[in-house]
Homo-oligomer: A and B are copies of this chain.
Amino acid sequence: MSTETPAIGRPRAFDEETVLARATEVFWQYGYEGASLSALTGAMGINRPSLYATFGSKEQLFRRAFARYHEDKVANVRTALAQPTAYGAIEAFLRSSADGLTAGDHPAGCLSIQGGLACSPENGRISEVLAAGRAETEAALGERMSRAAAEGDLPDGVDARALARFVMTLSEGHAVHAAAGASREDLQASVDIALRAVMGPARG
């Protein structure tokens, strides 16, 4: 809708997707509330009226940024979950997650968590949007695990939803760790340990 260049009038001096990517990085690093309009416009290379004319408001800009980020993430998750076994799916999910959290071409950690785990009351919707995104990922993971359980691909007595929650939780913890400076190797060593829990039978 707003991406096609209108035939008349002065053309835009910036690319919408490019400046959205810049804004995403600012939100990613400083969080929704920590990212001021000045910081955003500075990184995007545009000024306030251009931002508002293009995106509407700071909140709508954030939602666009997160939607983009989330779509990418969902695509990665889908790829990981396409592995033929539950173990393979979990390993692919956790390893690609750990890689993504520590990749050098963007801020460390995860926008879903950095963005605004806690917000002031008037920005509570931001936290909700982010939590909903994470819940969606966990649900996809849970469905894959349920399928695996039905196929006999998981030991008897394994709770598929709990397993998905465990995997998702570990990934979220890795995001916290990555934001605090943990390296890719640190995270992968943690994944090594987690994978030992996946296939083992229930203890007791």
User: Which residues of A are in contact with B by a Cβ distance under 8 Å?
Assistant: 29-31, 33-36, 39, 109, 113-121, 123, 127, 131, 134-135, 159, 162-163, 165-166, 168-177, 179-182, 186, 189-190, 192-200, 202-203
Contact = CB atoms under 8 A, between A and B. Distances in A.
A114 B195 CA distance: 28
A31 B114 CA distance: 12
Given A33-B33, A173-B173, 19 more contacts: A30-B120, A31-B119, A115-B118, A117-B117, A127-B179, A131-B181, A165-B190, A166-B170, A168-B173, A169-B170, A169-B173, A172-B173, A172-B177, A192-B202, A193-B197, A195-B197, A196-B196, A197-B198, A199-B203
Contacts of A203: 195-196, 199
In the A-B complex, the 6 residue pairs with the smallest Cβ-Cβ separation, listed nearest first, are: A197-B197, A173-B173, A31-B118, A169-B173, A34-B120, A162-B189
16 contacts: A33-B33, A33-B120, A34-B120, A131-B180, A159-B189, A162-B189, A163-B193, A165-B186, A166-B170, A168-B177, A173-B174, A196-B197, A197-B197, A197-B200, A199-B203, A200-B200
